[in-house]
């Protein structure tokens, strides 16, 4: 029991660290907003790979990386690599194009999307409160689609890509460093090819721009890899429901940055949608807490 509690505490710290990192990440992307989203993603992949290879060498993880890069695990990581690359591209586009609110909404939808994954893929059943919360969230999204739907595709793509990524990484029998190293290795040839093409065409920002931008792009490797390593390590140690609760940290910080720092317009449709999502998340949290209390009471010795 003690080992399990220790694992959960470690997982909780790792998860909070990951989501705090992601919550403030729009500040980083705003500093390199003059660079195209596709070039930023390509740099994230290439520099992340170099960072991860250094960690793998330092921690002597090459044997486990080679063991993981085979069979069904490799197929799963090919899919997760595609999902995380899509998520990066859409999120960076959202930040640099002034749609941080839509990005925040996407990650608010994530826990609700995880519930749908549990129902569809794991055969889990929803309580009446959870069904109501899901319908309430759906109504909020419908209002946003009708009133300010131009950026709704950003929210839905982010929720789908990262929700499915987290689910697959949780069930894949591979540790965080090994999995992320393989994912970035799979993506690196495409990313490196794109960067070389930009350099040859004379449209690249790297080296041809400011030194500050070059340094920030290189640091993107560590900035990308560290929270993902923390997240996947936390996913292995925490129940999926607890991990879903921690997901509220990042979009809350992003929401505050969008409105208070970046000055994005908060429309009536946004307020209705966010209000519905927050209410739905509150219902889920209260219902989950009550279920956990009942379960502990039932398991307690008489």
Residue 106 burial (10 A CB sphere; 0-12, 13-18, 19+):
buried
Say which DSSP state 227 is in: H
| pLDDT score of 147 | 67
- Give the tokens for residue 15: 């998860």
- Confidence class for position 172, pLDDT limits 50, 70, 90: confident
Q: What is the mean pLDDT of residues 87-113?
A: 88
Residue 146 is inside which H or E element, if any? helix 128-148
pLDDT for 69 beyond 60: yes
- Give the tokens for residue 221: 């490797």
Mean pLDDT of all residues belonging to the chain: 86
| pLDDT score of 240 | 63
The CA-based dihedral angle spanning residues 192, 194, 200, 204, taken in that order and rounded to the nearest 10 degrees: -100
Per the model's pLDDT, the better-predicted residue between 300 and 251 turns out to be 251
The phi, psi pair for 139, rounded to 5°, reads -65, -40
């Amino acid at each position: 029991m003690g080992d399990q509690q220790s694992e959960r505490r470690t997982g909780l710290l790792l998860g909070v660290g990951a989501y705090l990192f992601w919550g403030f990440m729009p500040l980083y992307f705003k500093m390199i907003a003059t660079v195209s989203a596709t070039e930023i993603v390509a740099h994230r992949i290439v520099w992340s790979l170099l960072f991860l290879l250094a960690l793998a060498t330092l921690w002597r993880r090459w044997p486990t990386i080679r063991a993981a890069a085979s069979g069904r695990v490799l197929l799963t990581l090919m899919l997760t690599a595609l999902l995380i690359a899509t998520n990066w591209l859409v999120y960076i586009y959202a930040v640099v194009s002034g749609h941080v609110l839509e990005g925040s909404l996407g990650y608010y939808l994530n826990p609700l999307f995880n519930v749908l994954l549990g129902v569809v893929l794991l055969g889990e059943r929803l309580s009446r409160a959870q069904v109501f919360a899901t319908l309430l969230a759906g109504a909020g999204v419908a209002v946003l689609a009708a009133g300010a739907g131009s950026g709704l595709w950003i929210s839905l793509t982010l929720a789908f890509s990262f929700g499915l990524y987290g689910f697959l990484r949780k069930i894949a029998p591979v540790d965080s460093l090994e999995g992320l190293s393989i994912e970035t290795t799979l993506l690196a040839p495409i990313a490196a090819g794109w960067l070389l093409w930009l350099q040859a065409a004379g449209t690249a920002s790297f080296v041809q721009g400011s030194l500050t931008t070059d340094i920030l792009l290189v640091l993107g490797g560590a900035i990308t890899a560290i929270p993902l390593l923390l997240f996947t390590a936390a996913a292995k140690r925490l129940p999926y429901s607890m991990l879903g609760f921690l997901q509220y940290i990042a979009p809350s910080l992003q929401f505050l940055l969008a409105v208070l720092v970046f000055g994005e317009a908060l429309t009536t449709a946004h307020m209705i949608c966010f209000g519905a999502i927050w209410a739905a998340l509150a219902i889920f949290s209260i219902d989950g807490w009550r279920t956990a209390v009942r379960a502990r009471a039932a398991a307690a010795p008489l």
